[in-house]
């Protein structure tokens, strides 16, 4: 048998080199005395009495110098569940069998207790075979070994050959009584960080000398145990990471109740939620948030040296021991942030048990995390402090990182709330400014309507139509701005979808085909202007002005395909502005990301199927990568190509509008370098019309299309509209025009130009080039010729109209059903009149003196009202006066509410209708209406019979409160600017109908 590793310790002797217990314990804790050749010699006893001799010095509180770091590393393995340690039982079982001992175990050593992970042998006393208190455990001595792979096999294993002969263990209960342990061998379990976490040990009930083979078995098995523990710890770390991620996800998913305008309340709510979520996730006794903004006001140096920082939020667990009213000096805060900008763990040192580890915490706290939180400008504004009061546990670096991430989430939430507050202010501003824009927009649209009814040239007429379409689109955009802001608030928790009036949205009948055509025309015109107005700095400094129609406009082919429906495209919806906005954003993106070249194309399709509208915008542009489409396309403020103009909100708005307002779906197909196709579908309620509606039915498009169909049906049309240099684009455009001519208007397409009644040519087609080259091109003699071309082509062709008079009219691209119908109607009217030698004279409104009341021009017995126009804007007043003059309606004007009230009082006959603006100087429309109603009541009380004036508000205001206020003040009707002249016609018709009913009753 081999000799013993450790000679039996000798009893205390007067020659001991240690003169005090403290000196001996210090040396023993380093592990250097375990294998001393002379054995660990304790110091002289303080007394030589028989009692002291029978109870020699116990190694109470023995610990290595790195105990603090060891215990922190140990926390990853403490409190392992039985399921996690089930596989460890095989290692002590193998050790027991290989060594032929009575028992073996795997254990971890805590601060004051030994935690058994797996043990075998001596089953009848397994519950107490090893002392669970660290001070009584043999394994506590094994923990002091420091070789960790260095030294001989004997130096790396701690053995005791006979416990009854060793002064350290001979008085222990497990030696002197059951189970009578006589020999021991153990090896430390060394973690990846190099700390002794616990032991793998075996014991026997008789003395024995341990062999090198047995020691190697211990070393090999201990390495396997450590690998098993590391796997368990890794799984636990992964689980803790998932729990931390889930807690941050739960934190960010919270619906905040504080107002974004209450900044202090918002910070308190967010940080209060953070300490609650963080405390529950960490399982700590308590957590608080400290407001440190004053400590860093004016920069990292702070504002002044005095003062304190107080808590702003706290959370306490069941055993929480946070002091109430925690405050800390600003100097401590500054010093801590300067020393630990990313936060750290503060643990109690053994020598400072009477001092708090942090000024914010009680003396009972043993471990704490303190993490600064920084705002978006990297200035600290809070500290997160988590506290533990258990000596069995210490915080880990992973938990510091978690609190740092939670602090970043707090900053992100506060920043989002600040953005929400800014967005609220923006919404208020946009609401106010949109009201101010309605009045001039009313003037633009009404002037366009009046101008369209005067004598205009071909190009002038097309420009007026474009101006009107752009104006109507702008009107819808202004309206949808408020709708979208209210929709966004609904997403944040508002209970119901409200319109911009604050009430349920008003359902209107809208011609969807016309709306889409106007949006396409407006976007095309805007993009064309952008292309023409964009030039180099040299161009900008050039002395010669740039020709706005020099051919530098839109070269990409834009095609509008609208499915023919015999029932028409009138839909009943409350969200027409949202539909326009979706198409504007989608078409705007296509125009922006498709090269402005003749070989590229954009197609907008509108179709109806199974109760839903399908709107498709596809292009041959640059396309998008699959990753961007899948992960970032609908994320706000995101663009795949950040060098393009825009802020990255267009698709986010489209998705919100389609899904939240229209209750529809959006589908995106894109291939990088090939193009994009976006399809939106949403349910609609179609208004069923007869296949041949009357000219006055449901809007302009039905009227124009039905008129064109009556004039074109049965006629033979020869068409050559495509550019032969771009065959695919030419095919798309030709198919679209062919659909309009055949399905919409009922004409017959012929291939022989000599048999045609109407010729339709494109600006770059072969036919048009022949017409320009040969003014006497024989095939067009006696035929109506219509040219479809861009504005640049239109200018070039228009210069040749005097030479080649057979081109009767032009249609600017892109071309839709309404625009083509107007041109066909005009061309055939010109052709019919020229054949009968009638002069082609458009109805003209004489604009020389619009302020004068015009005499009636109607030869019928139509009853017309006497009208008072109350409008402070001279342009709008002039337009209304021109309209009323055209209708032959007698009227007067007043430029503020006070003048209006005086005019009503001084007029003996009385006015039938008052068109009242609501925002005016001196006296606004609300006060004026109330005064008129009071005057009418006063006159009625005096016995005079006076007809009641109908008051109609024409205003830029458009909120629910304004409408309710108008109703209370006696206003009968409420129209929001801009008001079309068609609406004014309906106002007059409504008055006439009401008067007719009164006469019938009388």
The DSSP secondary structure of 414-440, one letter per residue, reads: HHHHHHHHHHHHHHHHHHHHHHHHHHH
The radius of gyration of the chain from alpha carbons, rounded to an integer in Å, stands at 45
- The encoded tokens of residue 835 equal 């054949």
The predicted pLDDT at position 80 comes to 72
* Range with the largest mean pLDDT of 308-312, 381-385, 552-556: 381-385
Q: Does the structure show a pLDDT above 60 at 781? A: yes
Residue 956's contacts (CB-CB under 8 Å, 6 or more residues apart) are 434, 435, 436, 437, 438, 439, 442, 919, 976, 977
The predicted pLDDT at position 322 comes to 63
Q: What are the structural domains of the chain?
A: 67-238 (3.30.450.40), 256-297+306-421 (3.30.450.40), 704-838 (3.40.50.2300), 867-999 (3.40.50.2300)
Q: pLDDT per residue over 44-80, tens digit each?
A: 443 344 444 444 445 555 677 778 778 778 877 776 7
User: Which of 16-25, 251-260, 813-822, 939-948 has the lowest average pLDDT?
Assistant: 16-25
pLDDT band at 233 (very low <50, low <70, confident <90, very high): confident
Q: Which residue has the higher pLDDT, 806 or 695?
A: 806
Nearest-10 Cα torsion for 172, 175, 181, 184: 40
The predicted pLDDT at position 604 comes to 96
The predicted pLDDT at position 501 comes to 43
Q: Does the structure show a pLDDT above 60 at 839? A: no
pLDDT band at 564 (very low <50, low <70, confident <90, very high): very high
Q: pLDDT per residue over 374-389, tens digit each?
A: 988 888 999 999 888 8
What are the distances in angstroms from CA 812 to CA 178, 465, 558?
A: 107, 10, 11
The values of phi and psi at residue 224, to 5°, are: -65, -40
Residue 962's contacts (CB-CB under 8 Å, 6 or more residues apart) are 918, 955
The predicted pLDDT at position 541 comes to 35
Beta-carbon-side half-sphere exposure of residue 158 (alpha carbons within 13 Å): 25
The predicted pLDDT at position 931 comes to 93
Mean model confidence pLDDT for the chain:
77
**Is 29 within 8 Å of 17 (Cβ atoms)?**
no
Specify the pairing of strand 807-812 against strand 508-511.
Answer: unpaired
Q: pLDDT per residue over 883-920, tens digit each?
A: 898 888 999 999 899 999 999 998 888 899 999 998 88
Average pLDDT over residues 112-130: 68
Percent of all residues in the chain with a pLDDT value above 90, rounded to a whole number: 23
């Amino acid at each position: 048998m081999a000799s013993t590793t450790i000679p039996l310790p000798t009893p205390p002797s007067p020659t001991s080199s240690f003169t005090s217990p403290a000196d001996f314990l210090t040396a023993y804790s380093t592990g250097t005395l375990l294998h001393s050749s002379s054995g660990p010699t304790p110091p002289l006893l303080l007394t030589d009495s028989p009692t002291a001799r029978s109870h020699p010095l116990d190694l109470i509180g023995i610990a290595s110098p790195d105990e603090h770091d060891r215990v922190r590393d140990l926390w990853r393995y403490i409190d392992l569940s039985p399921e996690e340690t089930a596989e460890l039982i095989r290692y002590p079982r193998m050790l027991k069998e290989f060594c032929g001992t009575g028992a073996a175990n795997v254990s971890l050593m805590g601060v004051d207790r030994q935690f058994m992970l797996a043990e075998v042998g001596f089953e009848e006393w397994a519950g107490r075979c090893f002392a669970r208190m660290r001070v009584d455990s043999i394994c506590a001595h094994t923990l002091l070994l420091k070789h960790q792979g260095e030294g001989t096999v004997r130096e790396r294993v701690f053995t005791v050959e006979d416990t009854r002969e060793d002064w350290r263990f001979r008085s222990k209960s497990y030696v002197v009584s059951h189970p009578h342990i006589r020999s021991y061998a153990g090896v430390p379990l060394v973690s990846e960080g190099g700390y002794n976490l616990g032991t793998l040990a075996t014991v026997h009930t008789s003395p024995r000398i341990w062999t090198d083979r047995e020691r190697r078995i211990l070393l090999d098995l201990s390495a396997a145990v450590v690998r098993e523990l590391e796997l368990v710890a890794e799984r636990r770390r992964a689980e803790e990471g998932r729990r931390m991620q889930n807690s941050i996800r739960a934190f960010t998913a919270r619906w905040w109740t504080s107002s974004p305008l209450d900044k202090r309340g918002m910070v308190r709510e967010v940080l209060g939620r953070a300490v609650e979520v963080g405390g529950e996730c960490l399982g700590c006794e308590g957590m608080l948030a400290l407001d440190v903004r004053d400590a860093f006001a004016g920069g990292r140096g702070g504002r002044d040296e005095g003062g304190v920082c107080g808590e702003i939020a706290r959370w306490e667990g069941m055993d929480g021991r946070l002091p109430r009213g925690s405050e800390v000096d600003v100097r401590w805060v500054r010093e801590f942030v300067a020393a630990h900008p990313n936060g750290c763990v503060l643990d109690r040192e053994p020598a400072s048990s009477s001092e708090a580890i942090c000024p914010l915490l009680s003396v009972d706290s043993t471990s704490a995390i303190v993490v600064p939180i920084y705002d978006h400008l990297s200035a600290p504004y809070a500290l997160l402090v988590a506290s533990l009061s258990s000596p069995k546990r210490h915080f880990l670096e992973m938990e510091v990182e978690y609190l740092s991430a939670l602090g970043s989430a707090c900053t992100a939430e506060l920043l989002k709330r600040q953005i929400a507050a800014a967005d609220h202010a923006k919404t208020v501003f946009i609401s106010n400014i949109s009201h101010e824009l309605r009045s001039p927009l009313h003037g633009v649209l009404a002037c366009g309507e009046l101008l369209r009814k005067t004598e205009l040239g071909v190009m002038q007429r097309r420009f007026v139509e474009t101006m009107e379409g752009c104006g109507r689109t702008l009107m819808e955009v202004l309206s949808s701005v408020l709708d979208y802001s209210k929709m966004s608030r609904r997403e944040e928790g508002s209970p119901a979808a409200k319109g911009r009036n604050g009430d349920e949205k008003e359902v209107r009948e809208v011609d969807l085909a016309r709306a889409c055509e106007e949006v396409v025309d407006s976007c095309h015109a805007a993009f064309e202007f952008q292309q023409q107005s964009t030039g180099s700095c040299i161009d900008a400094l050039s002395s010669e002005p740039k020709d706005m129609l020099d051919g530098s406009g839109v070269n990409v082919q834009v095609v509008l395909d609208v499915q023919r429906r015999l029932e028409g495209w009138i839909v009943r919806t409350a969200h027409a502005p949202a539909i326009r906005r979706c198409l504007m954003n989608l078409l705007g993106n296509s125009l922006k990301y498709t090269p402005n070249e003749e070989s590229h194309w954009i197609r907008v399709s509108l179709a109806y199927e199974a109760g839903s509208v399908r709107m498709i915008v596809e292009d041959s542009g640059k396309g998008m990568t699959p990753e961007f489409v899948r992960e970032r396309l609908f994320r706000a403020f995101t663009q795949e190509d950040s060098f393009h103009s825009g802020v990255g909100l267009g698709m986010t708005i489209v998705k919100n509008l389609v899904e939240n307002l229209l209750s529809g779906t959006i589908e995106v197909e894109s291939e990088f370098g090939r193009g994009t196709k976006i399809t939106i579908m949403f349910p609609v309620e179609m208004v069923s019309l007869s296949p041949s509606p009357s000219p006055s039915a449901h809007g302009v498009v039905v009227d124009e299309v039905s008129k064109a169909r009556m004039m074109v049906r049965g006629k033979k049309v020869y068409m050559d509209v495509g550019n032969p240099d771009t065959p695919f684009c030419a095919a798309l455009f030709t198919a679209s025009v062919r659909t309009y001519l055949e399905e919409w208007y009922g004409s017959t397409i012929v291939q022989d130009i000599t048999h045609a009644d109407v010729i339709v040519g494109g600006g770059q087609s072969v036919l048009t080039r022949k017409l320009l080259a040969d003014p006497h091109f024989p095939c067009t003699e006696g035929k109506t010729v219509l040219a479809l071309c861009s504005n640049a082509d239109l200018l070039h062709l228009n210069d040749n109209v005097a030479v080649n008079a057979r081109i009767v009219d032009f249609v600017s691209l892109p071309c839709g059903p309404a625009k083509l119908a107007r041109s066909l109607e005009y061309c055939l009217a010109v052709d019919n009149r020229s054949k009968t030698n009638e002069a082609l004279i458009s109805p003209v409104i004489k604009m020389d003196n619009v302020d004068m009341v015009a005499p009636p021009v109607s030869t019928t017995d139509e009853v017309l009202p006497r009208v008072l126009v109350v409008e402070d804007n001279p342009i709008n007043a002039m337009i209304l006066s021109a309209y009323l003059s055209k209708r032959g309606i007698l009227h007067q004007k007043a430029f503020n509410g006070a003048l209006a009230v005086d005019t009503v009082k001084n007029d003996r006959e009385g006015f039938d209708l008052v068109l009242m603006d609501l925002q005016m100087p001196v006296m606004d429309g609300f006060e004026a209406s109330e005064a008129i109603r009071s005057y009418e009541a006063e006159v009625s009380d005096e016995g005079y019979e006076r007809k009641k004036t109908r008051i109609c508000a024409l205003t830029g205001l458009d909120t629910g409160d304004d409408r309710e206020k108008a109703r209370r003040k006696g206003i009968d009707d409420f129209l929001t600017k801009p008001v079309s002249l068609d609406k004014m016609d309906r106002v007059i018709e409504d008055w006439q109908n009401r008067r007719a009913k009164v006469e019938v009753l009388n």
